[in-house]
Structure formats: structure tokens, C-alpha cells
Structure 1
Amino acid sequence: MQDDIRALRRSTGTLAIIAVFVVAYFARDLILPVMLGFLLALTLSPINRFLQRRGLPAAFAATLLILSATACIGGAVFFAGDTVRAWSNDAPNIARDLKYKLSGVTETIDAVKDASTEVEKMTAAPAEGPQQVVVQQPGLLNSAVTVAASSLTSLAVALVLALFLLASGDLFYVKLVQTFRTLSGKKQALAMVYDIERRVSGYLLTITLINAGLGVVVAAALWAVGLEHAYIWGVAAFLLNYLPIIGGVVGTVFVGIHAITYFDSVSYALIAPIAYQVLTTVEAQFVTPYLLGRRLELNIVAVFLTVVLWAWLWGIAGALVAVPFLLVFKVVCDNVDSLTVISNFLGAAQDPPKQRT
């Protein structure tokens, strides 16, 4: 009987996890801006409290912070928008130039591709297949406009939600604590909430400052190499570095493409992506671990799998929120006795198993 009950609980838990991911996949447009709003509020909460201790009202401090964040986002879009738009319009010429300069590599790839096609033709059985219906996809311009409108809407909702959360002060925490009846439950909930805020805000605020420094260094290095619009790649490095593991690789590839099409010598052009990769590697291996210290006590395998999972569910936006989400989940597991095993698995390799008293 007990075995049947345990099996039923496991099945129910499995179905609940599947249901959560299904809802997350189909309700992305609703859940994503809410998550971004909470994360932004957590990031700015230490600064908000500092301003309040200096005598500023909570609503005024929150408005000042959100307006500053909006100005930073708008400034980045304003300075980088025209150049990125010009690159998008010139994409066919860029692709043609890249293909010409890498003609030796592309000829080898084309030869392998042609040989593979010939083998498929020889091994394929001649048969009359059914007529295929090709569904015409929406144009690139329509897709870009749709994505831009959706992104702006999500960002606006996130900023407004963060404003309300910051302006409310500790009201959200008070309401959360009031939902628990026992004193021990209230204490545990309050400790967990403050632990989440401390770890997530510390991580996001620190990683934002690190990314800003990385963006400045990358822009200076590419400017020294002679690459045009080096500041654009500084902004790109700042944003891409929020993507753990894959952000540096993506930035290196795009910098390499731009450098090859800009410089006459391919060998000299390779200096730019090599410099970008070296700088992001130094940041990831030395700067971030030193500054974050034990604030990011996560298993690197768990981080990678979480990034892959949320990138599959929500694309780039999912990869951006993956690590903060994992931090929140880790804190919850740290404070719930039944989730201790998961907490120890998610912890870093050098962390000893947590003992509860």
C-alpha cells in the first residue's frame, strides 16, 4: 500500500513538472515580462534601499531608478540602432563579400556537399512521390517588426512591474509572510525571500557591472585593432555576456564575420575575434569568479543544462533568465527540507552537503 502511494506521488510530481513546462512554453508572452520585472526589481532593490536611507521616498526612488534604466536602454538603442539597421539592409552584400574572401573554404565545403548530393541521388529509389505543398513563410521585415513589437511590449510591462515592486517597499514581503499561519512558517518564508533577494540582486548587479567593464574593454581593443563601429561591439559584448557559456562564442563569431568583411587581409581580420574571445575568456575564468566569490554557488553542469532548457523554451530571452531562475530555485531548495538533495546537486563541486538541525 505504501509503495503504491509513493508511486502515485512520483507520478503526480512528474505530471506536475511536465505541466509547468507546457504552461511556460505556451504562456511565454505572459510569464516572461513578469519574470523580467521581478528580476529587475531584485537587481535595483539594494540601490533603492540605499536611496530610501538617504531620505528619498520609496515611490520617488523607484521612479528615479526605472527612468534611469529606461534611459540606458533607450540610449543603447539610439546609438546602435542606425548602424545595426544599416548592416541589416546591407546583409546581401556582406554575405557576398564574406563568401568571396573565404572562397577557399567555401569551395571545399561545396565540393563535399555536391559529393553527398550525388551519393543520395545514386542510392535513392526512383518513385513518384506525392505533390508537396510549400507554405510561404512571412517576410523578414514582417518577422523583424513582430519580434521588435513583442520585445518592446515585454520590456514595457517589465519596467512598469519593477516600478510598482520597488515603490511598494516591503509590502510584497509583508503580504507573503501573512499567508503563513505559524510563526516558524513566517520566519522561514521571510528568511527565504531575503536570501533570494540577496543572492539574485548581488549576482545581477555584480554581473551587470562586470559586463559594462567588459563592453568598454572590448570596444577599446577593437578600436585599437582598427575595426569600425567598435562601440557597437562593446554594447554587444555587454548584452551577450548575460548568456552564460554561449554568449562569448556568439560574439566571437559575429565579430569575426564583420572583421573579415571590413579588413582586406583575412589573417589580420582574425585578430579581432581572437581579441574578443581572449577578453571574454579572461572575464569568465578569472574576473567573474573573483568578484562574485561564493555568491554563485552553482554546479556548472546544472547551469549549462538550465541555459539549454530555457533557451529551447523561450529562445534568447530564456537563456538570459536561466541563471537567475536557477539561483532562485537553489535558494528555495536550501530552505525546504524535502529538497535538500536537489540543493546539494545544484551546488558547486566544492560545497559540502548541507546539514540541517
Structure 2
Amino acid sequence: MTDDGDRPKREATRIVSPNIGLINTQTIQIGPRWAVIGIFLILFFGALYLSRDFILPVVFALLFMLVLSPIVRVAKRRLGFWEPVTAAVLVFGTLLVILSSFYAFSGPISEIAQNAPRYIEAANEEISVLRERFAVVRDAKREVHQAAGKDTGAEPPEDVVISGPSLLGNMAAVIPRIGASIAFALIFLFFLLSSGSLFYRKTVEALPSLSDKKRALSIASDIETELSRYLFAITLINLCLGLAIGSAMALVGLPMPAVFGALAFVLNFIPYLGAIAGIGLVGLVGLTEFGSDAYALVPPLVYLLITSIEGQFITPILVGRRLRMNAAAVFLSVAFWGWIWGVVGMFLAVPLMVCVKIVAGYIESLHPLANFLAAEEAQEETPPSP
């Protein structure tokens, strides 16, 4: 049975009430659109989480390609070096730095792993002291309730004991995976760098219109420039911070100050949470070495003071206004990528955020996102879309 009888009614409705028809059409179009976007984001981030063992080396290689590509181009243009030669030198140099770092700090890290039971025992002792103090308050509260004729019936809490996992065993299980990921990232980085501008050229050729091609070239150029500036500035800052932390830990009498300086250098690539982890580690070792004496608070307080000076004064000056980010957005980015990719995701959070901010600045519909990611004084510098 056909619905020819209903067709004139629908057409009449369109003629008599065109505005209502327009509103209904927009509602029908907008609803599924946002639903599709939401489903896509869920599937996209789910895929990133499930394929992290493959995606992480690829992301690292792409980020290092953006930073090192200008060196390859300059070496070819001014010195006449063939791209694969420059790429091999850069990749081999990166591998040497990684292996040298592992070799230099393998001994101190093993010593820290061997002393982990001591640190855990010291933490358990302090937890026991706190429990005893809270137990006094709890008993007094129970006596007051009993005197008032009330029985709380609450059972005493169970003992809280920090148990130390086999750190060396965990490292032995994780190191092969880390080594395989590093090897894959370096090999992929070599192919990206040795191809010269092929990666950019193929990406631009895939875009349909001339304006899109120009925009893609501008985005790639800005990402190279800004990301190189950021990584160079933050590496220099972290190097100075590591030297300052190591020297300060040596002055306060903490053992293995060079290790804590190196850890400060690495952890400071993670905004906020890296400093908190460093303070906690230094405080735990200080508690073990100096006991419950008030002097045990000196190492974490010194660490806090140095990182506060770096974060509030030095980094804003050296990084510059264009690269300064919304602090809330940075913290949210670190937490999100840490949830998706673990500790490695925390290291990648800010570089990825820089890339997203630059891309959003060139797309008109994403300008609100670019303004949200930028610091307040840097919002006016967002580049207009071509």
C-alpha cells in the first residue's frame, strides 16, 4: 500500500510552514553528526590504547623527524651531504646517547633497586607511627561514644603495609620490549629522514585544493619551528635543572646525587607530575638516610624550591610567549595521555599539545581550541587561517 495520500500533506506542510521544516531538517542532520563524531572519538582513542606498542614508536619517530628534518635539509643545501648519510649520522648519534645513558646509570639504578627494601621499610615505619597517632584519636572517640551510651561497632582498620615488588624482575621483563620499541623507532626515523622532503611532498599531493596544500605546508613549517624551539629550550632548562638538583643533593648529604640529578632531568619533561615524583623519591631516600629527624625534610624542600624557581621564572622566560600553554590544559593533557599510554604518554603530552595547538590555529572552526590551549597572553598570536 502506497503513501501517495500522505504525500500532498507533507508537501503542503513544507509550503505553509517552511521554517518548521527547516528546523526539523537541521535537527535531523545535527543529531547524527555529533553522534558519529562521538563514536569516532571513542573508537579512535580506544585504538590508540590497544595499539600503543606499535603507535608509540611511530609517534616518537614522527616527532623526531619534525625536529631533525631542518638539519638534514641544511646539511644537503650548504654542505652537499646526501640525505641518507646525514640521517645515518643523526640516528646513530641518538643511539649512542641512549646506550651511553643506560650504561652510565645502570650501576646507580641497580643500587637503588637493591636498596628498595630499605626505602619501603622506612616508609612502613612512618606509616606505623601515623597509625599509632590516629589510633589514639580513634580510641578517645570510642570512649566518648561509650560514655554517651553509643557503640559505633566499627572494626579497627587493617594494617597498611607497603610491599616492595621485585623491581629487578619487572625491569628484566620490560627492558626487551623497550629495546625493541627503540630499535623500531630509530629504523623508521632513518627512513623518514633519508627520504628528504618526500614525506611532506606526498602528504601535500594527497590534498585536493591549492589552499589546502598551502595550509599544510604552513602547518608543517610552523610545527617544525615551534617544536624544535620547545624541545631545545626545555632540554637546556632540564639539563641545568639536573645539574642544580644533583649539586644540591650532594650539599645536603644525600647519596648518589648524580642519579637524582639525572632523574630530575628526565622527570622534568613531564610537567607538574614529574616534579611531584622527584620530590617523593628524594623524600623517601632522605627519610631512609636521616630517619625521622627534621633534617629528612631538607632534601625534598630543596628539590621543591629549585623546581619552583625553574617553573615560575626560568621556563616562562626561555620558552617564550608563543609556546606558553594553558596550565590547566597542560595538566589535563598529561593526565589524559598518561591514562592512554602510561608514563611514555606523559612525556609526549606537551609535544603533541604543541602540534594540536598549531594545527587548530590554522583551521577556523578549531580557533576556540587553539585559544583554550594557549596561555592568556599568547592567544592574540594565534595565526589566522589562510
TM-score grouping bracket, smaller chain normalisation: 0.7 to 0.9
Which amino acid is the alignment partner of residue 18 of structure 1? I
Higher mean C-alpha deviation, range 168-177 or range 46-55: 46-55
SS at match of 2:325: coil
Give the Cα separation in 2 of the matches to 1:78 and 1:114. Answer: 50
Distance change (3 Å), C-alpha of 1:151 and 1:19: same
For residue 142 of structure 1, report the CA deviation from its aligned partner: 4.6
Q: Deviations over 1:17-75 (max 9, x none)?
A: 11111111111111111111112222333444444433432222222222222222212
2:207 aligned counterpart, secondary structure: coil
- Matched to 1:250, the amino acid is A
Cα distance, 1:231 vs structure 2: 0.8
CA deviations on 1:296-318 (whole Å, 9 max, x unpaired) are: 14221111111111111111111
Alignment partners' CA distance in 1, 2:279 and 2:166: 28
Counterpart residue number, 2:242: 215
Give the direction of change, closer, same or farther, for the CA distance of 1:97–1:9 in structure 2 (3 Å limit): closer
In structure 1, what is the equivalent of residue 333 of structure 2? 306
| 3-state SS, counterpart of residue 320 of structure 2 | helix
- 1:45/1:201 contact within 8 Å kept: no
Give a deviation string over 1:150-177, Cα, whole Å, max 9, x none: 2222222122222222222211111111
Specify every segment of 5 or more residues in structure 1 that has no aligned partner in the other structure, as ranges: 125-137
CA distance in 1, matches of 2:138, 2:178: 41
Match of 1:39 among 50, 57, 63: 63
Structure possessing the higher radius of gyration over alpha carbons: 2
Report the Cα distance in structure 1 between the residues aligned to 2:190 and 2:116, rounded to whole angstroms.
39
Secondary structure of the residue aligned to 2:380 is: coil
Amino acid at match of 1:276: Y
> 5 Å matches for 1:1-357?
1-52=25-76, 53-100=78-125, 102=126, 106-110=128-132, 112=134, 122-123=153-154, 142-263=169-290, 266-350=293-377, 351-352=379-380
1:114 to 1:158, Cα distance in 2 relative to 1, 3 A:
farther
* Paired AA for residue 12 in structure 1: V
- Range 286-295 or range 341-350, more displaced: 341-350
Higher relative contact order (CA 8 A, sep 6+): 1
- Checking the alignment, whether the CA contact within 8 Å between 2:238 and 2:266 is kept in structure 1 is yes
Q: In 2, distance between residues paired with 1:229 and 1:139?
A: 21
Q: Which residue of 2 aligns with 1:135?
A: none
Distance 2:40 2:154 in 1: 47
What amino acid is aligned across from residue 231 of structure 2 in structure 1? L
CA distance in 2, matches of 1:116, 1:145: 44
Per the alignment, in what secondary structure is the counterpart of residue 321 of structure 2?
Answer: helix
What is the TM-score when the length of structure 2 is the normalising length?
0.80
Q: Are the counterparts in 1 of residues 83 and 195 from structure 2 also a CA contact under 8 Å? A: yes
